[in-house]
Amino acid sequence: MMKMFRMRREEGLTLVEVVVTIGVLLILAGAVMPLARVTLKRQKELELRRSLRTMRQAIDLYKQYSDQGLIQKEGVDSEGYPPELDTLVEGVPQMGTTKKIKFLRRIPMDPFTHKDEWGMRSYQDDADSRSWGRQNVYDVYTLYSGTALDGTKYQDWRGGSHGAGRDHPEDAGPGTGGGVHSPGAAHRHRPHRDSGVPCGAPVQKNA
């Protein structure tokens, strides 16, 4: 009789221990999950900055080549900027040669929308415009309307970073001098954005 009582008591204690253990695990899981979500979001933010910087550098290099007469300007309203974002991938003929210059291997994928579609602004558009005037492609921004970890809107991110356009050290690449600045209201009509361009030459292929 005493033995059976002792066994039941031990079984009861074991059940209590299991319940306590499960409770502790649930608490730990509740603490870990938000941290994991923050880490994943931060990684996506870094990828977004890099994608914006890559495209803006390609746009700036296209503008540089156009101003130098290495490629032909596309129309009176182009201001030397590409007519479409795809032009940077498809390439344009180099003046006086049979070569084609390509400025991007592919359009980057937006880490938040999982699409290679981006908002665009022409040189003639306002710096914060959400409507593309279609004269040229002067700047790009994400179509994702979410809020970043620091409280800023992703669509307001400028250059390699966000907010007021400050460059983040982790965005800096070799020879780029950090992120590329998007036009602000005070300097939108400069002939060229204050930005670095890639050190390496764009891809050139025979037509």
SS3 206: strand
What pLDDT sits at residue 24?
72
Q: What is the pLDDT of residues 96-146, one digit of tens each?
A: 999 999 999 999 999 999 999 999 999 999 998 999 999 999 999 999 999
Confidence of residue 26 (pLDDT cuts 50, 70, 90): confident
The amino acid at residue 145 is S
d(CA 73, CA 62): 10
Asked whether the predicted pLDDT for residue 91 surpasses 70, the reply is yes
Asked whether the predicted pLDDT for residue 87 surpasses 90, the reply is yes
Domain interval for residue 146? 2-206
Of residues 206 and 88, the one with the higher pLDDT is 88
Of the candidates 111, 73, 114, which has an alpha carbon nearest to the alpha carbon of residue 92?
A: 73
What pLDDT sits at residue 3?
54
- pTM for this prediction: 0.66
Do 125 and 132 contact (CB within 8 A), yes or no?
yes
What pLDDT sits at residue 35?
80
Q: What is the pLDDT of residues 168-193, one digit of tens each?
A: 333 433 333 333 333 333 333 444 44
Asked whether the predicted pLDDT for residue 167 surpasses 70, the reply is no
Buried b (16+ CB within 10 A) or exposed e, 26-54: eeeeeeeeeeeeeeeeeebbeebbbbbbb
As a whole number, the mean pLDDT across the chain is: 77
- Structure token pair of residue 121: 């602004």
Q: What is the pLDDT of residues 27-83, one digit of tens each?
A: 766 766 778 888 999 999 999 999 999 999 999 999 999 999 999 988 888 999 999
d(CA 27, CA 22): 9
Element (H, E) at 203: strand 203-206
Domain count, the chain: 1
